[in-house]
Structure formats: structure tokens, C-alpha cells
Amino acid sequence: MFNFLNSLSTFIIAPFKKRKINYKKFYATPSLYPSELEKNELLSLIHNNKIDDNIRAIRYQARNISTSIALINGYFETINSEIYGDNGIILDLHTQDSNLNKYIENLWWNWKENIPYSHIDFWDLESLILLYLKRDGECFVYVNESVDGLSVKIIDPDNVDETIDNGKNIIKGIEFDTNNAPLAYYILDANQEVLRIERDRILHFFKRHSVDQVRGISPLSSIIYPVMQKDKFKSAELKRARLQSEITGYMIKNDNEDFVPNIDNGEDIDNEKEIRVDTQVGKMQFIDENLKPYFVESHNATNIEFFIKQTDKEIAKALGVSYSTLTGDLNEVNYSSIRHGASEQRREFRSLQTFIIRNFHNKIFERWLLNEIKRGNIKPNDYRIIIDNYTFKPQGWEYIDPYKETNANKIALESGQKTLSDILREKGKELDTHINELKKEEEFYKILSSYKKKR
């Protein structure tokens, strides 16, 4: 038996011992050996330019589809309401001194309504910050201290002069020091003159895709082509349908007859008459016997709905929202699917809220605080207390199914899986604010109870 197995293994393995395996060829990826059909597409992936090289062209394309394509325009309206809600992102000061909390919060609120040297308020600034960030991929904010208060203005990315670029310490309108940190920005003013503005007056933030990236790229860059494809496909189908509805027919001269039929106005059509090439609804055009008409075959777009739906799903995924949120299509939605989709996109929204708070609200508030101390509106001794005890409260969201989710939170709270702070934070509330509201309501119930007893 042993001899049989030994001879069998020799019979199977022996041929392979004589073969020399080219391991370099064996481990080569198929994309490096494309067929003629796929060569151009695959080899084009090798030409990888720097991210910053085409930011202006991509930005213009993104701005175009954000205003001309209804779906993308609606996305920006939706995301603005989802990120900011009704009141924007609210300052919550929680020091031990309740009077100081109220004073600073009111002072901040009054400044938000009347920003010096600005024709828009803070809520409009928030909306523009989000628009530039999600459409253009980057945001520039000019900040300047003054005796009238902190001045804040948005700088359009187009006004950062990208032509000023020496390829060394100045790249795309931004000057860098020896540590590759921004040193100054070259900004075009209203008269198209270039101003060099120091870095301490500019807030520039964007989502990085590479460590050496100096400018932001539009998040819409991956969907520009699919959006335009879908738009062209819809437009082509509409034009084809319109053309087919407008073509009523042609009349061709019969070789066995010596007359030409009267068309429209009752006059005979001369054989030398110029041939008409236009088509009108309800009209019958005459074609000479030497010309044969060919009609474009009608195209029944049976897959247009699938193509549009699939494209919209890919666009929604790239934008970080659910398909139902992007399109408003709830036909295939149930509780489980909408809950999963909402949970996924809310994580995206919270991440975006945190990014904006960290790069805009926190930095603006701390500069505003220093400016108010210089103006004498805040005591210098209170600075450290305020800095250590402030947060910005973002927009929360309503429950998808209040009964189920409230019971789930109750079980999580009782089992120790969640704290009350966790539950309130999901709703966009802080614990101390919630407790203060409960105390106020308790006082109100006491007054209401005593009023009922008197009656």
C-alpha cells in the first residue's frame, strides 16, 4: 500500500518538479497586462496628478451642478437644515457661576446678530461655511479684532490668487515657512489687487486627502461625471421622445406615376425645388424619388429607471446621505432600512458638525473672547474659567420611532449601557441645561398647582 501511494505521489508531483515557475509573472496584477479593449482605460489610471493641480476646474464644475441639477441643489438645502436645524450651533457655558454663564451667552448672542463691518449675521456665516466646505472643498475666513468688536468675513476661494505659485515656498496663493506651516495668504480685493494677509488673520480649513495637500478639493468631484451622465441620458430620452412625436411622415414620388401630389397649399412641387429637411408637427414633407428617407430607430429605454436609480444610490453614498434622503423616494423604505440609513448618515452629520465646531466655532469664540476682554466687556480673571467650561451644542434629531427608541433608551439607561448625558447628547442637549429646564418646569407646576387649589 505504501509503495502504491509513493508511486502515485511521484506520478502526480514529478511533472511539476521539471517546470520552472516565473514568480514575477505569477504574481503580476492583471491590470498591468490589459487587453486592447481595456488598455486606454486602465493605463489612464497611471497618470495620477497632484490633488491641488485641478482644484479650480473641479470647483467650477461643482458650482455648476450645485445650481443647475435639481437633485444636488436639494442636497445642499437638506444638509444645511440637518447640520444647523432651526437655531444653528449654540454656545453652552457651564461654569459654577450661573450669572457669568448667562452674561457670556447673551453677549455672544448679541455679537452674532450684529457682527462689526459685516452685512450678514452669524447664522448666514454658518450656512456659507457649510456651503463652501461641501461644494468647494475648502473655506477661508478673515478674522480681525477692532474696538467695535471682532470682525468676521468669508473669503471666496476664487479670491485666493492661485497664479501666485513659485513651486517652492508659495503654492496656490499660500506662502509657507520652513516648517511647511502657512505664513501668509495672497488675497484679491474688490479692485482685483493682491493683498498679502498674515496667517493670524485667516482661518483656512478643509478635509485632507494627502499629507502635502495645501488646498481643498470639492467633495462633489467623484459625482460630477455620474451626475452629468445621468442628466445627458435623461435629456437624450426626452429629445428622442419629442422627435418621434413631431415626425408625422414623408411622401416619396412613385416611379409609375407622372404627377406629384399636392402638399399643404395645393400647389405642385417642382422636381427642382429645394428639398426640405426640417420637420413640423402635422406636416407631410415631399422627398424626390432619388432620395430615400431613413429614420432613427425608436429606442425604448427599458433600463432608464434602473440606471437613474442606481446612479442616484451611488451619488447618495458619495455624499454621505441615504438614497431616500437624497431623492425623497420612500417606496422601498421600511422601519429597519430607514433606521439603518438614518443612523449611518447621522454619524456623517455628527462628524461634520464636530469638524465645523473644531475649526470655526471654537477658534472664533476664543478670539472673540480675547477681543471682548480688550474692550473691557469681560474681566481678564474670567478668561481661564470660560475657556475651560464652554462647549458648542449642535443640532440633534428627532426619533424615527419615538415609542421604540424611547423604550430602548430606557433599557440602556437601566442596564448601565448608556448614561443620561449620552441620551441627551443624541438630542443635541447638555445635562446641566436639561436639569435647569426641569427645575424651571417644576416651579411652573408648583405655581399651576397652587392656582388650581385656590379655585
pLDDT above 70 covers a percentage of the chain that reads 70
- Residue 374: is its pLDDT beyond 90? yes
CB count within 10 Å of CB 193 equals 8
Q: Which three cell numbers stand for residue 424?
A: 441627551
- Residue 311: is its pLDDT beyond 80? yes
Query: What local confidence, expressed as pLDDT, does residue 399 receive?
Result: 62
2 residue type, one letter: F
- Residue 258: is its pLDDT beyond 80? no
Query: What local confidence, expressed as pLDDT, does residue 282 receive?
Result: 56
- Residue 396: is its pLDDT beyond 80? no
Q: What is the mean pLDDT of residues 229-242?
A: 80
Highest-confidence segment of 43-52, 169-178, 281-290? 169-178
pLDDT one-digit tens code per residue, 58-99: 999 999 999 988 889 999 999 999 899 888 899 989 888 989
pTM of the model: 0.72
Q: What is the mean pLDDT of residues 290-299?
A: 61
Least confident range of 33-42, 196-205, 220-229, 416-425: 33-42
Helix/strand/coil for 225: helix
Query: What local confidence, expressed as pLDDT, does residue 355 receive?
Result: 95
Q: What is the mean pLDDT of residues 97-126?
A: 93
Q: Max CA-CA distance within the chain?
A: 111
Q: Which three cell numbers stand for residue 123?
A: 447664522
Query: What local confidence, expressed as pLDDT, does residue 105 receive?
Result: 93
Query: What local confidence, expressed as pLDDT, does residue 275 receive?
Result: 52
- The CA-to-CA distance between both ends of the chain, in Å, stands at 107
- Residue 376: is its pLDDT beyond 90? yes
20 — pLDDT class (breaks 50, 70, 90): low
- 258 Cβ contact list (under 8 Å, min separation 6): none
Q: What is the mean pLDDT of residues 263-290?
A: 56
Query: What local confidence, expressed as pLDDT, does residue 319 receive?
Result: 85
Higher pLDDT, 168 or 334: 168
pLDDT above 90 covers a percentage of the chain that reads 36
Angle formed by the axes of helices 98-113 and 122-131, to 10°? 70
Q: What is the mean pLDDT of residues 338-355?
A: 82
Query: What local confidence, expressed as pLDDT, does residue 388 receive?
Result: 93
- Residue 434: is its pLDDT beyond 90? no
The rounded distance, in Å, linking the Cα atoms of 283 and 276 is: 11
Higher pLDDT, 363 or 273: 363
* Domain residue ranges in the chain: 55-222, 400-455
Query: What local confidence, expressed as pLDDT, does residue 16 receive?
Result: 41
274 residue type, one letter: E
Q: For the stretch 386-419, what's the b/e string if a residue is b when 16 or more beta carbons lie within 10 angstroms of its beta carbon?
A: beebbebbbbeeeeeeeeeeeeebeeeeeeeebe
CB count within 10 Å of CB 145 equals 17
Least confident range of 164-178, 203-217, 335-349: 335-349
Residue 174, judged by CB atoms within 10 A of its CB (0-12, 13-18, 19+), counts as buried
Query: What local confidence, expressed as pLDDT, does residue 424 receive?
Result: 74
- Residue 391: is its pLDDT beyond 80? yes
Question: Do residues 368 and 146 lie in contact, with contact meaning Cβ atoms separated by under 8 Å?
Answer: no
Q: What is the DSSP letter of 333?
A: -
Q: Which three cell numbers stand for residue 232?
A: 445627458
Question: Do residues 130 and 83 lie in contact, with contact meaning Cβ atoms separated by under 8 Å?
Answer: yes
Query: What local confidence, expressed as pLDDT, does residue 288 receive?
Result: 66
Q: What is the DSSP letter of 210?
A: S
DSSP H helices, 191-334, are 224-246, 304-319, 323-327
Question: Do residues 428 and 85 lie in contact, with contact meaning Cβ atoms separated by under 8 Å?
Answer: yes
Query: What local confidence, expressed as pLDDT, does residue 32 receive?
Result: 65
Q: What is the mean pLDDT of residues 222-249?
A: 78
Question: Do residues 101 and 264 lie in contact, with contact meaning Cβ atoms separated by under 8 Å?
Answer: no
Query: What local confidence, expressed as pLDDT, does residue 354 receive?
Result: 93
